[in-house]
Structure 1
């Protein structure tokens, strides 16, 4: 049996719509009585008005419209005015908290900066009477923390549900690394099919409190799989770096994966391979790179040299005013440091002459400059390819 739909014209008979158990029912704005869906006919609604409220049968639609607004304000369900207002307040707070999380700002910024700024904007643009409405939006530190956690849990649930429903199984990519606080972090990304498309999402992020052996990493991933009821049998691909804890034939992570999922294809991360290739340089190129590091450290390690070199670059109207440190663990650092030094080679030569330093000999050598240019070009190509491979929907093929 088809359900009848409410028409805005029914307000002239004194009826508005109310949702009950998934269907719309007509509700009288005079007696607040709710009729069946089958009664949502103009003739039946008119009969109710003339029979039960004869004194109001000649009223115009605006009269029933005002009564209808009062009825909506009294409702406590989803169609009520109170619910709609609270729903808008909660939605606004979640959207603000999402911005805080995306921009990685302190949770206190919502209460200390965003709310005062919003009140100033509303007061100047809309008026003082609208400012009071913002007081009902909760932006405290604890509220921001709790709702960001709720959003993260909801996102994690969506990802896990997508992995479980993936028709063709899923693959994972993981890597462990130690951050600046000496805390070892394990990141696991998952790629699966959903809605006729391939999706790549962060599956889990976990601290490694003690050792980082292959067995330790596998136990953490296995506990996550068991907790969320993920099937190792649906795993068809696993990508890792080349560390022994990952690729060890007997005790590495991949060996434990093969024990529970023998059909899984193990792949060495393509980006890691390029990072390893860049470390294996011919002796003449390696000596050039080591000399570049010493030149950068000579300028950057001294606050006085840094200020003087910056002043020199400003006087010469250079495109850059400072050098970049070389950091071993950052893949892009090698290319950025050599490229910046190559672009500032003339300024560095003049600076070393003023300082009477032996780096002047290197910067005047045509052979050294040619090797530096070669390294800068090669590392730049590797960096661009590295960045191109990263991001959603990127594959080697």
Structure 2
């Protein structure tokens, strides 16, 4: 009511007429001064909040770097201490030194704070990956399983997705799932399905799955691949090509296996006894040998066998002399046997053959060894001085035939996409008749592919296509929606699970024997930060957390 307003004015603002004279100029000047005072107060308040936000952003950036390098959460306090210790020598000549020190002291880098920061960053990276997946035209998975330091099975799932606009390839960790029960195919499928649901990946949209070939992955009835095929009938499945190469290089039960076993036995004899090992290393140093030690062999490492054998042959005279010095040469009479040395060099020559043309080479090797031609086995030719006995020829031919049989039984899953590489590299000269196989493999309409490729080849390659620096740049110049989709599906495929093996190596650095009690959630968050190619949006994280006490 008017009376209430008037009473309030006369009671609370009795000096209004004195402070704000009726003269317009005086009143405007007074109001202007009040506005300036308000702006100054607000400016100080904004500066306070801006400084706090900067300190928080710095806290996130430092936590990101700690996670990226697999460092413990407690190292955050060490970083802060290093900052403070170096302030005197770094900022002593600056006028705002005290302000810098104050902000460093305000850095939030305690153990729990760094843990929360890394968790927030991991969630932000997941959100970015979800957005990339949502816009992808094709995606594939690589799946592998290993055990950490705490004897917990970890299922590693990587995703590669690509869109058909910019042909940007995103390859990142989809999820790491801890399996605390038995690692059967059904349990692995449930974990993989859960990971896909969390990241909004539809199983029927997956182009291919690459595994390490373990039974729980490739079982016909309850393996991961079998369960996923029920959801996606057109799913392509691949056995990691590097694993298959390693399996093919195994020597089976032939006489070549005896050669490898003897090499491993000699190497283990020297390495297993510290005194003998030290004496052997000293011997190599005294004679100024090209190598400082022999290598240990492990079946887990894919290239171990070839490297161990090469080093063993290079140091064979020194090994024989050393064993005779310590009186152990009678235990290994094979080392002085020329026939055994021929077998040893033959094994090395086999393992050094290139995989790309290995199948063709095997047929050539078998024919040449039958005739006694050792031109492709220089170490064997040197050992036997160009003359190989007939009984030795039969042994070597049998070994090569066994290897040829094993090789033929593998790599069959890659035969169906063997023409995909030529299509990607140069669609302008790719034979149109070969599109039939690709259309069948990737379940795309054949007539649309043939029509679009015919139009493309009829128009010819543009200047930009001829000078493209990469396959992605080339396909930006190609017209045709179905051709783009085929290209995206091919580029999304994984050839091996090597990326999963690299992830497990990073996991071993993060969850080591010094951090064996690291929880699954913290392990997964830090591992994602360590292996991702994405960059976190720290300012966006802070904006989304406004109002929360962090």
The TM-score, its normalising length taken from structure 2, stands at: 0.53
Query: Residues 339, 309 of structure 1: CA spacing in aligned structure 2 closer, same or farther, 3 A cutoff?
Result: same
The aligned counterpart of 1:140 is: 110
The aligned counterpart of 1:329 is: 300
SS of 1:279's partner is coil
| Structure-2 separation of matches of 1:282 and 1:188 | 35
Q: Deviations over 1:185-235 (max 9, x none)?
A: 211111101452122111111122222221111111112233443211211
Query: Residues 138, 238 of structure 1: CA spacing in aligned structure 2 closer, same or farther, 3 A cutoff?
Result: same
The aligned counterpart of 1:172 is: 141
| Structure-1 separation of matches of 2:168 and 2:197 | 26
8 Å CA contact 2:140, 2:492 repeated in 1: no
SS of 1:138's partner is coil
- Cα drift, residue 268 of structure 1: 1.9
Structure 2 residue 132 is the aligned partner of structure 1 residue 162: yes
Query: Residues 102, 368 of structure 1: CA spacing in aligned structure 2 closer, same or farther, 3 A cutoff?
Result: farther
Query: Residues 304, 207 of structure 1: CA spacing in aligned structure 2 closer, same or farther, 3 A cutoff?
Result: same
| Structure-2 separation of matches of 1:380 and 1:205 | 35
Counterpart among 119, 122, 125 of residue 149 in structure 1: 119
| Structure-2 separation of matches of 1:71 and 1:275 | 71
SS of 1:134's partner is helix
SS of 2:296's partner is coil
The aligned counterpart of 1:241 is: 212
**Structure 1: segments with no counterpart, 5+ residues:** 1-48, 58-63, 385-391
| Structure-1 separation of matches of 2:314 and 2:42 | 69
Counterpart among 96, 112, 115 of residue 62 in structure 2: 96
Query: Residues 55, 161 of structure 1: CA spacing in aligned structure 2 closer, same or farther, 3 A cutoff?
Result: closer
8 Å CA contact 1:172, 1:237 repeated in 2: yes
Q: Deviations over 1:90-135 (max 9, x none)?
A: 22222222222222222222213x2232233332122264434311
| Structure-2 separation of matches of 1:301 and 1:339 | 20
Q: What number of residue pairs does the alignment pair up? A: 328
Query: Residues 224, 51 of structure 1: CA spacing in aligned structure 2 closer, same or farther, 3 A cutoff?
Result: same
Structure 2 residue 86 is the aligned partner of structure 1 residue 115: no
| Structure-1 separation of matches of 2:251 and 2:155 | 26
8 Å CA contact 2:211, 2:239 repeated in 1: yes
The aligned counterpart of 2:47 is: 81
| Structure-2 separation of matches of 1:362 and 1:73 | 87
- Mean alpha-carbon deviation: is it higher for 294-303 or for 154-163? 154-163
Counterpart among 185, 195, 198 of residue 154 in structure 2: 185
The aligned counterpart of 1:30 is: none
Bigger helix share = 2
8 Å CA contact 2:141, 2:494 repeated in 1: no
- Cα drift, residue 298 of structure 1: 0.6
The TM-score, its normalising length taken from structure 1, stands at: 0.71
| Structure-1 separation of matches of 2:118 and 2:73 | 10
- Mean alpha-carbon deviation: is it higher for 341-350 or for 243-252? 341-350
The aligned counterpart of 1:203 is: 174
8 Å CA contact 2:159, 2:171 repeated in 1: yes
| Structure-2 separation of matches of 1:329 and 1:206 | 23
Query: Residues 302, 70 of structure 1: CA spacing in aligned structure 2 closer, same or farther, 3 A cutoff?
Result: farther
Query: Residues 278, 72 of structure 1: CA spacing in aligned structure 2 closer, same or farther, 3 A cutoff?
Result: farther
Q: Deviations over 1:339-364 (max 9, x none)?
A: 43344334323321212223664444
Counterpart among 251, 266, 276 of residue 295 in structure 1: 266
The aligned counterpart of 2:19 is: none
- Mean alpha-carbon deviation: is it higher for 315-324 or for 372-381? 372-381
Bigger strand share = 1
8 Å CA contact 1:342, 1:376 repeated in 2: no
| Structure-2 separation of matches of 1:204 and 1:138 | 29
Query: Residues 203, 137 of structure 1: CA spacing in aligned structure 2 closer, same or farther, 3 A cutoff?
Result: same
